[in-house]
Structure 1
Amino acid sequence: MRDEHCHIIWGVDDGSDSFDMTREMVKAALSAGIDEIVCTPHMRWSDFDKRVVQERFARLSSAVPSIKWTLGYEVYYKRLLEIGIEHAPEFTIGDTNMILLEFNSGAVVSDDWQRVFYKLQSTYGLDITLAHPERYATVLENFDIVYQFADMGIRMQVSAGDLYRGMFDKGAKCAKRLIKEGLCDAIVSDAHCPEHYEDFARAVKKWG
């Protein structure tokens, strides 16, 4: 089983805070039946250090050869615009042309998203995957924007934990609708701690 979004590399974002915690996350992932993991640390804050990420990824993948490891990034939309979208190809998933983008959870989708996404696709040849659309205020207010994403060929992930936020939670309802309408291309753990793999295993069993 493949998990294409997690924060298992220690000390580089708001996910694992130590190598010991990473080891516990690995155990939880293996227990959930995961044998392929795409690491997607946040490329969001100004202290992001790609060299450190790469070094720790190399250590992790070497320590656990039973898992197929791939390094990618969860690229914050506004941060990408700050550094320049010409740098986008530096943050693709492994040796693919896929890039994982996120807007700010609970906030609106930027008005210029169509222009920027089109440039990433047409100028840089990137395939865009959008993280957790069920968290964005714009989507919760107007689900039709999801169809606009799909019409542009944007892949969409649903974070497993969002499916279990409660029966009346808008984000949970949105996540389930994305799956029901065939707009979810991947259910992901978005794991920041070992417990998140339990939600992932449950979600894949029910909806995967």
Structure 2
Amino acid sequence: MIDIHCHLLDGIDDGAKTFEESVEMARLAYEDGIRHIIATPHFCSSFMTERTVQLHKIARLQRELDRQGIAVTVSPGSEVRLESAAYVYEHADRNHFFYLDAARRFVLLEQRWCGYSEDTEQVVKWFLEQGTTPIIPHPERHPFFRDNAQLLTNLIALGAWTQVTADSLLGKNGTEAEAFGRWLLKHDHVHTLATDAHNTVRRPNLSDGFRVVAETAGEHRVQQILECMNSIVAVQNRS
């Protein structure tokens, strides 16, 4: 399995606090059946890690995982917050954040927590015009999507994908997030599943999420979601 959204790297956002915790998160991910993790620290006004710092941390972590025989591959990504259209365009132009793949076919595009951004459709269309599919992380956790699902289905109709979090389907993010996550599943509005793991408590648990997918929407939906996720890392050519 592939985890496309994980705050695995230590000391650069609200994810892992120490290098040892990063290693342990990777170990837990391996035990859960995950073999590839895209490390996606927040990229927003509060956290804007330099690319070189992120790559250095990934290289150090990968060396340690290889040394310990933890067969997980880590590659760079970012959880880009849509602070505004201008914010996204500026940092994209300056190559400040990571896409989810080297070919820039996918990007994790997060909503603000204070409310739905009116720039969303504009930015989604802009990415699509560049050949990039925006993936909306954890829409089930945002009250504005739960209150008005058409905001999200409009983005899907444009060509955006969604990423539902395993913890939400397990009820760990509240009953409303669980209910909306399962509604999205039943209506075929879930393209990818991820852990959004931040530490060893909010841990990698993708297998439990897929169990719920199978129970709620059938094994065929599990396979469809896995195919979408595999397509993201089908061509990884990091340099």
What is the TM-score when the length of structure 2 is the normalising length?
0.78
Measured after TM superposition, the shift of residue 144 of structure 1 is: 1.8
The amino acid of 1:180's aligned partner reads K
Q: Quote the residue 1:29 is aligned against.
A: 29
Tell me: CA distance 1:58–1:80, structure 2 relative to 1, closer, same or farther (3 Å): farther
Stretch deviating more after TM superposition (44-53 or 29-38):
44-53
Q: Is the 8 A contact 2:194 2:206 kept in 1?
A: yes
1:64 and 2:71 matched:
no
Q: How many residues align?
A: 205
Measured after TM superposition, the shift of residue 167 of structure 1 is: 10
Measured after TM superposition, the shift of residue 120 of structure 1 is: 2.3
Q: Is the 8 A contact 2:141 2:177 kept in 1?
A: yes
Give identity over the alignment, percent.
26
Q: Structure 1 residue aligned with 2:208, among 197, 202, 205?
A: 202
CA RMSD of aligned residues (A): 2.1
Q: Structure 2 residue aligned with 1:100, among 92, 95, 108?
A: 108
Write the distance in 2 (CA, Å) between the matches of 1:43 and 1:28: 25
Q: Structure 2 residue aligned with 1:158, among 143, 154, 164?
A: 164
Q: Quote the residue 2:147 is aligned against.
A: 141
Aligned residue for 2:54, secondary structure, equals helix
Q: Quote the residue 1:85 is aligned against.
A: 89
Q: Quote the residue 2:79 is aligned against.
A: 74
Query: 1:87-111 deviations in whole A, cap 9, x for unaligned?
Result: 3263211303211110123x32211
Aligned residue for 2:30, secondary structure, equals helix
Write the distance in 2 (CA, Å) between the matches of 1:132 and 1:76: 12
Measured after TM superposition, the shift of residue 190 of structure 1 is: 0.4
Listed as ranges, the gaps of 5+ residues in structure 2 are 214-221, 223-239
1:119 and 2:126 matched:
yes
Measured after TM superposition, the shift of residue 112 of structure 1 is: 2.1
The amino acid of 1:121's aligned partner reads L
Q: Quote the residue 2:217 is aligned against.
A: none
Measured after TM superposition, the shift of residue 73 of structure 1 is: 0.4
Q: Is the 8 A contact 1:28 1:195 kept in 2?
A: no
Q: Is the 8 A contact 2:16 2:199 kept in 1?
A: yes
Tell me: CA distance 1:193–1:146, structure 2 relative to 1, closer, same or farther (3 Å): same
Aligned residue for 1:70, secondary structure, equals strand
Q: Is the 8 A contact 2:128 2:159 kept in 1?
A: no
Write the distance in 2 (CA, Å) between the matches of 1:63 and 1:110: 40
Aligned residue for 1:175, secondary structure, equals helix
Aligned residue for 2:83, secondary structure, equals helix
The amino acid of 2:86's aligned partner reads L
Measured after TM superposition, the shift of residue 198 of structure 1 is: 5.6
Write the distance in 1 (CA, Å) between the matches of 2:146 and 2:124: 20
Aligned residue for 1:184, secondary structure, equals coil
Aligned residue for 2:34, secondary structure, equals coil
The amino acid of 1:182's aligned partner reads D
Tell me: CA distance 1:140–1:73, structure 2 relative to 1, closer, same or farther (3 Å): same
What is the TM-score when the length of structure 1 is the normalising length?
0.89
Write the distance in 2 (CA, Å) between the matches of 1:73 and 1:121: 18
Aligned residue for 2:108, secondary structure, equals strand
The amino acid of 1:62's aligned partner reads R
Write the distance in 1 (CA, Å) between the matches of 2:172 and 2:201: 17
Write the distance in 1 (CA, Å) between the matches of 2:53 and 2:85: 19
